[in-house]
Structure 1
Amino acid sequence: MKKAYLLILFIAAIAHSSSAQLKKADVKELAFMAGNWTLKHEWGDMQEFWGEPMGDNMVSTFRCVKDGKVVFYEFMTIEQSDSIPILKLRHFSKGSIGWEDKDKPYLMPATKIDTNEVVFESLDKKVLITYKRIGPLKMDCILDEKGKDGKWKRDVFAYTLSK
């Protein structure tokens, strides 16, 4: 119990320092992300489902399938800290084999929230994930990653809302 409390304090402190421009925000501001989002991509067919905010959290599942075979899965939560939402992400291979340690999800505090847009930043400041609703049926998920060479690479996943 004490370890969990210390971990929460540590995450909150880092979230506070990495999000200087975002003082306070609520997970309910991210309701624009909710829906069943799909796209056809060079990596494969993708589906990302976001549930509506419920209490202090949102949940998401993601899958990428190429030629009828799973490439990888993700399970994501956005949980409200004392002041801001924090994205917690885990990757899985076929067979539900986790990539991250069982007690170490990939943590990304929100650093910016505007109407229909949120930016999450990894604790090491090498990854940004932006969700931007660009219409009633369209949402972009923008993945910016800083490579070992120090250069940023951007992938844009242009999702369409499915029924």
Structure 2
Amino acid sequence: MKNIIILLVLAIGLNSFSQEKETLEPKLENIAWIAGTWHGEAFGGITEEIWSEPSGGSMMATFKLIVDEKVQFYEIEVIREIEDSLILQLKHFDSDLKGWETKNETIDFPLIEITETKVIFEGMTFEKISSNEMNVYVDIKNDDDTIETVKFNYKK
């Protein structure tokens, strides 16, 4: 009897794990939970990120960081369908809207995997905590070429 209970617990645990890790198709409708107005704190200030619902083969977002009641920088982001996959692209702007990247340059994050609660791009991951909370993990290259992962906790 004890062995049956152990096997049952293991089967339930493995089933829960496999459901969590099930890879979804790279379609915008599978990541629509990202849409909304999100607020958080990072880099010593207040962050705001606003994502649109999927339409026209893409989702778009704006981001801003406010420190000491002054905008430090903005970002424009898109997730778009490309070649049966998704890609996240962004551009940075100073508070006066002068771009960091050159005119035709974007920072690109190719899709790695989508599950029920995660969208994993190369260098950026969105994690659904609930319908009103998500974490975004961004790999940032430091001046000494080391990579630091910064966590943004957002709430609607």
Same fold, TM exceeding 0.5? yes
Q: How many positions carry a matched residue from both structures?
A: 134
Q: The residue matched to 1:31 in structure 2 has which SS?
A: helix
State the shift of 1:152 in Å: 3.8
Q: Is the 8 A contact 2:135 2:153 kept in 1?
A: yes
State the shift of 1:74 in Å: 0.3
Partner residue of 1:135 out of 126, 130, 134: 130
CA distance in 2, matches of 1:24, 1:41: 31
Q: Deviations over 1:91-122 (max 9, x none)?
A: 0001101001111111111111111311111x
C-alpha RMSD of the superposition: 2.0
Q: TM-score, normalised by structure 2?
A: 0.78
Q: What amino acid does structure 1 have at the position aligned with 2:42? A: H
Task: Specify whether residues 81 and 42 from structure 1 end up closer, same or farther in structure 2 by C-alpha distance, changes over 3 A only.
Answer: closer
Correspondence for 1:14: none
Q: Is the 8 A contact 1:43 1:64 kept in 2?
A: no
- Please list, as runs of the form range in 1=range in 2, the aligned pairs for 1:20-99 lying within 5 A after superposition: 25-99=26-100
Task: Specify whether residues 51 and 151 from structure 1 end up closer, same or farther in structure 2 by C-alpha distance, changes over 3 A only.
Answer: same
Q: Is the 8 A contact 1:145 1:153 kept in 2?
A: yes
Q: What amino acid does structure 1 have at the position aligned with 2:103? A: K
Q: Deviations over 1:56-115 (max 9, x none)?
A: 100000000111111110000111002111111000001101001111111111111111
Identity between Structure 1 and Structure 2 (%): 31
Q: Is the 8 A contact 2:41 2:153 kept in 1?
A: no
Q: The residue matched to 1:101 in structure 2 has which SS?
A: coil
Q: TM-score, normalised by structure 1?
A: 0.75
Q: Please, which runs of 5 or more residues in structure 1 have no aligned partner? A: 1-21, 122-127
Moved over 4 A (4+): 146-151
Q: The residue matched to 2:33 in structure 1 has which SS?
A: helix
CA distance in 1, matches of 2:65, 2:110: 24
> Which one is further off, 37-46 or 63-72?
37-46
Q: The residue matched to 1:91 in structure 2 has which SS?
A: strand
Task: Specify whether residues 150 and 95 from structure 1 end up closer, same or farther in structure 2 by C-alpha distance, changes over 3 A only.
Answer: closer
